[in-house]
């Protein structure tokens, strides 16, 4: 791919090439994320002002924008230096005032000569029952009135960028737009009745009424689809590149898996069996596996993961399982140990703590193939870690991992299959945007024997009763988590909140009963506090959200979440999932500070009504929006200029299948449509994709 197509050059020139934009204005535009003329095309107006011509201001209810023709009456200069300058005017039905601050009288007498007619457009407001228009947006002679648009688009602005400047800059960029060859599938285009790209851009910037601003307006849907399609093409190209590496066939005879199944006290759920079959088929296919295993809290991902690792071992190879933190890595190890014992395979742990001789010995055993399955933090992928025959890599808690890391991870074995696990149920549209390069297996059934968790909302006024209940429960040998909120921006105050609560509970429940973990502690102290709780030495663990993911203490059956109204839904769901893992009936208490905001109440009620993580995720998306839901900054979720993952979720699925089909038929993008798609990728600044095609 030789470089950016010439037809796009004007859209990728400097902003200073636009009239009226100097270095200072270009810098101001950067505050809106606008760096190139093409960015202006995708910065669509978010609302509009009706400036249709009226006979009189009496036709609207102030405050409202109105355009009328008036006869100019007397000028009333300000009484004091700071007072306003007023001009009386009369439309067809009534008299009102135009008001100006800091204006020069000479200029106003020229603009608004008494006795002449002018067209004015601006916002009419009532002050002491007198209608006024402060600083009209337009003052024109009756012959020039067609300069005023009937419906004027309103753009997002920032310091140094006015509405007028934005309109002018956008107008200039629109004049540079040339028709481009169509990249959308003709059948889809016909079915959706979408305009061509150049028409869609022009229409999106020239709305004729409020309907044209809706995400469902044809021009906007078309432009959103272009974004989603370019994004899915990038993911599909990454997927194709991973798969082009001829995979290895990893097929086992099942003897190790049979031992584990025989030792299990229960039968796997239908969802677990289905996921295990999908993974086995991928591993045996000879194509690189790139699969996401998505399961709600407690859906039994560990078993599926272990059975997949055993396929690699049965096939004569090794498997590795990587977790984001040492606590989690140790927990995976603890969960896998009994299964490994049943299968008689060797499982080892490798973290950043392994040093010197011990580390050397582990690395040697790994290189010889004596270790079958390695569990650890990202230490498992450091340069000096050599595997005898790595066939499967499993990564836990994917949302800290972008496409680039996935590609790097796959490079460690000669052709390693990759399975990613996440316990965060993600709505389908987001899953497609974030993991569109992967195939997805979903665990949507709970293993038998899991009791529902009873969830209650309790006002902070009743905190004393909650502490009394805890005292009774701990006396009976039960264990509890007490999660303290993030208090706002400063980490320090979070800490104080957790420490204060810790002191308060220690005083109420006794020395040695209460433990504390928070993010500021040295890792060793944190691990020690966790371990004491796991062994049951401490009965109550006060924690900030560091325990959100993957902590597993089956005896803990009470979860208290303080200031629960400050947490997001998904986070609350994850926290609640830390209990309900053992035989005891579990309880989750959502402590809240009244009065609750509407959305706070909706969140807590949703949680009280359902334990279905997927339903909770959909509700979360509806309430918070996509960027917020997974913290866009660290999620690898792209920033869409036009596309909206909530209102246009359906388009993302269409874009994914369209992108995959196109690459199946035309892997090099050399057909006529393929050439058009290359232009789209340049237009959408998908440099990653362009690199993948050029190396392809």
Whether the pLDDT of residue 594 is over 60: the answer is yes
CATH number reported for the structural domain that contains residue 385 in this entry: 3.40.50.300
Last residue of a domain, one of 590, 610, 630: 610
Last residue of a domain, one of 443, 463, 485: 443
Last residue of a domain, one of 443, 464, 483: 443
Q: What is the pLDDT of residues 462-479, one digit of tens each?
A: 999 999 999 999 999 899
Residues 474 and 553 in one domain: yes
pLDDT score of 2: 61
Residues 199 and 341 in one domain: no
What mean pLDDT is predicted for residues 91-119?
94
Is residue 131, in this structure, part of any structural domain at all? yes
Whether the pLDDT of residue 403 is over 90: the answer is no
Q: What is the pLDDT of residues 210-266, one digit of tens each?
A: 999 999 999 999 999 999 999 999 888 887 776 666 678 899 999 999 999 999 888
Strand partners, 321: 375, 394
Q: Are 93 and 60 in contact (CB under 8 A)?
A: no
pTM of the model: 0.67
Q: How far apart, in whole angstroms, are the C-alpha atoms of residue 231 and residue 391?
A: 29
Selection from 6, 32, 1, 4 nearest residue 176 by Cα: 6
Residues 410 and 541 in one domain: no
Whether the pLDDT of residue 326 is over 90: the answer is no
More confident residue, 164 or 36: 36
Whether the pLDDT of residue 484 is over 90: the answer is no
Name the pLDDT band for 577 (thresholds 50, 70, 90). confident
What mean pLDDT is predicted for residues 344-357?
92
Measured N-to-C along each axis, helices 218-244 and 672-683 cross at an angle, to the nearest 10 degrees, of: 100
Is residue 217, in this structure, part of any structural domain at all? no
Residues 310 and 166 in one domain: no
Is residue 14, in this structure, part of any structural domain at all? yes
Residues 297 and 421 in one domain: yes
Residues 17 and 40 in one domain: yes
pLDDT score of 630: 42
Q: What is the pLDDT of residues 613-629, one digit of tens each?
A: 777 877 777 776 544 44
pLDDT score of 304: 95
Q: Domains in the chain: how many in total?
A: 5
Ranges 72-86, 401-415, 595-609, 681-695: which has the least confidence: 401-415
pLDDT score of 404: 61
- 480: Cβ contacts below 8 Å, ≥ 6 apart: 470, 473, 474, 539, 540, 541, 556, 557, 558, 559, 560
Q: Which of 82-86, 439-443, 580-584, 634-638 has the highest mean pLDDT?
A: 82-86
The edge-to-edge listing of strands for the beta sheet with 479-483 is 454-459, 587-592, 556-561, 479-483, 540-543, 514-517
CATH number reported for the structural domain that contains residue 99 in this entry: 2.40.50.140
pLDDT score of 121: 96
Calculate the average pLDDT of the chain.
86
Is residue 399, in this structure, part of any structural domain at all? yes
Whether the pLDDT of residue 446 is over 90: the answer is no
Four-CA torsion 269, 273, 276, 280, nearest 10 degrees: 170
Residues 425 and 314 in one domain: yes
Q: Detail the DSSP E strand segments found in 103-244.
A: 117-127, 130-134, 138-140, 151-154
Q: How far apart, in whole angstroms, are the C-alpha atoms of residue 666 and residue 633?
A: 33
Is residue 287, in this structure, part of any structural domain at all? yes
State CA 6 to chain mean position distance: 34
Whether the pLDDT of residue 69 is over 50: the answer is yes
Is residue 154, in this structure, part of any structural domain at all? no
pLDDT score of 497: 77
Is residue 295, in this structure, part of any structural domain at all? yes
Residues 298 and 173 in one domain: no
Residues 43 and 74 in one domain: no
The structure tokens 């974030």 sit at: 434
Domain that holds residue 658: 222-244+644-695
Strands 53-54 vs 47-50: parallel, antiparallel or unpaired:
unpaired
Residues 429 and 489 in one domain: no
Residues 288 and 417 in one domain: yes
pLDDT score of 633: 35
Q: Which two tokens stand for residue 510?
A: 């006794």
Could you tell me what percent of the chain has a pLDDT over 90? 54
Q: What is the pLDDT of residues 357-401, one digit of tens each?
A: 999 999 999 999 999 999 998 888 887 888 999 999 998 865 455
Q: How far apart, in whole angstroms, are the C-alpha atoms of residue 129 and residue 132?
A: 9
Residue 214, Cβ neighbours under 10 Å: how many? 11
Is residue 688, in this structure, part of any structural domain at all? yes
Q: Are 486 and 546 in contact (CB under 8 A)?
A: no
Residues 63 and 34 in one domain: no
Q: What is the pLDDT of residues 288-315, one digit of tens each?
A: 888 989 887 777 888 999 999 999 999 9
């Amino acid at each position: 791919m030789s470089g950016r197509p010439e037809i796009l050059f004007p859209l990728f020139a400097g902003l200073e090439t636009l009239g009226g934009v100097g270095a200072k204005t270009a810098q101001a535009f950067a505050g809106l994320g606008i760096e190139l003329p093409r960015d202006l095309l995708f910065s669509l107006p978010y609302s509009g002002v009706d400036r249709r011509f009226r006979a009189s201001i009496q036709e609207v209810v102030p405050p409202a924008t109105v355009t009328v023709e008036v006869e100019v009456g007397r000028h009333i200069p300000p009484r004091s230096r700071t007072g306003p300058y007023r001009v009386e005017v009369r439309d067809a039905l009534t008299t009102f005032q135009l008001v100006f601050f800091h204006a020069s009288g000479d200029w106003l007498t020229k603009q608004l000569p008494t006795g002449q007619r002018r067209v004015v457009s601006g916002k009419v407001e009532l002050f002491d029952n007198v209608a006024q228009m402060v600083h009209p947006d337009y003052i024109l002679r009756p012959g020039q009135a067609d300069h005023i648009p009937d419906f004027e688009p309103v753009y997002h602005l920032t310091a140094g960028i006015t509405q007028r400047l934005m309109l002018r800059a956008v107008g200039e960029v629109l004049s540079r737009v040339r028709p481009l060859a169509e990249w959308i599938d003709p059948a889809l285009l016909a079915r959706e009745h979408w305009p061509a790209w150049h028409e869609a851009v022009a229409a999106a910037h020239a709305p004729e009424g409020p309907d044209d601003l809706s995400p469902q307006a044809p021009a906007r849907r078309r432009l959103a689809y272009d974004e989603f399609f370019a994004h899915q093409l990038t993911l599909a190209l990454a997927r194709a590149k991973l798969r082009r590496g001829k995979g290895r066939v990893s097929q086992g005879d099942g003897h190790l898996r049979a031992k584990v199944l025989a030792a299990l006290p229960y039968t796997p759920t239908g969802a677990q069996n289905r996921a295990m079959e999908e993974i086995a088929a991928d591993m045996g296919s000879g194509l690189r596996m790139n699969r996401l295993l998505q399961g709600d809290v407690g859906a039994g991902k560990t078993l599926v993961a272990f059975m997949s690792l055993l396929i690699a071992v049965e096939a004569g190879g090794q498997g590795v399982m990587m977790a984001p933190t040492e606590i989690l890595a140790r927990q995976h190890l603890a969960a896998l140990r009994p299964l490994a014992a049943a299968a008689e395979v060797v499982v080892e742990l490798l973290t950043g703590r392994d040093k010197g001789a011990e580390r050397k010995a582990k690395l040697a055993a790994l290189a010889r193939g004596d270790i079958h399955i390695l569990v650890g933090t990202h230490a498992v992928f450091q340069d000096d870690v050599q595997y005898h025959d790595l066939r499967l890599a499993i990564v836990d808690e994917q949302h800290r991992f972008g496409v680039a890391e996935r590609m790097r991870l796959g490079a460690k074995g000669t052709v390693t299959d990759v399975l990613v696990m996440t316990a965060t149920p993600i709505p389908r549209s987001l899953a497609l945007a974030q993991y569109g390069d992967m195939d997805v297996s979903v665990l949507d059934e709970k293993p038998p024997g899991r009791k529902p968790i009873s969830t209650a909302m309790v006002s902070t006024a009743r905190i004393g009763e909650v502490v009394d209940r805890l005292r009774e429960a701990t006396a009976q040998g039960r264990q509890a988590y007490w999660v303290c909120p993030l208090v706002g921006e400063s980490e320090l105050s979070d800490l104080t909140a957790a420490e204060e609560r810790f002191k308060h509970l220690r005083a109420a429940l006794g020395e040695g009963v209460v433990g504390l973990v928070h993010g500021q502690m040295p890792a060793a102290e944190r691990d020690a506090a966790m371990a004491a709780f796991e062994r049951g030495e401490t009965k109550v663990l006060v924690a900030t959200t560091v325990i959100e993911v993957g902590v597993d203490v089956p005896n803990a059956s009470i979860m208290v979440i303080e200031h629960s109204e400050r947490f997001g839904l998904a986070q609350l769901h994850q926290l609640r999932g830390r209990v309900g893992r053992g035989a005891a009936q579990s309880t989750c208490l959502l402590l809240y500070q009244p009065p609750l905001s509407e959305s706070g109440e909706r969140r807590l009620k949703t949680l009280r009504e359902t334990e279905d993580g997927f339903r909770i995720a959909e509700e979360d998306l509806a309430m918070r929006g996509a960027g917020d839901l997974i913290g866009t900054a660290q999620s690898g979720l792209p920033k869409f200029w036009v596309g909206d993952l909530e209102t246009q979720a359906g388009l993302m699925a269409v874009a994914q299948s369209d992108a995959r089909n196109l690459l199946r038929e035309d892997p090099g993008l050399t057909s006529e449509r393929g050439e058009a798609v290359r232009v789209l990728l340049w237009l959408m600044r998908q440099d990653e994709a362009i690199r993948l095609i050029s190396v392809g």
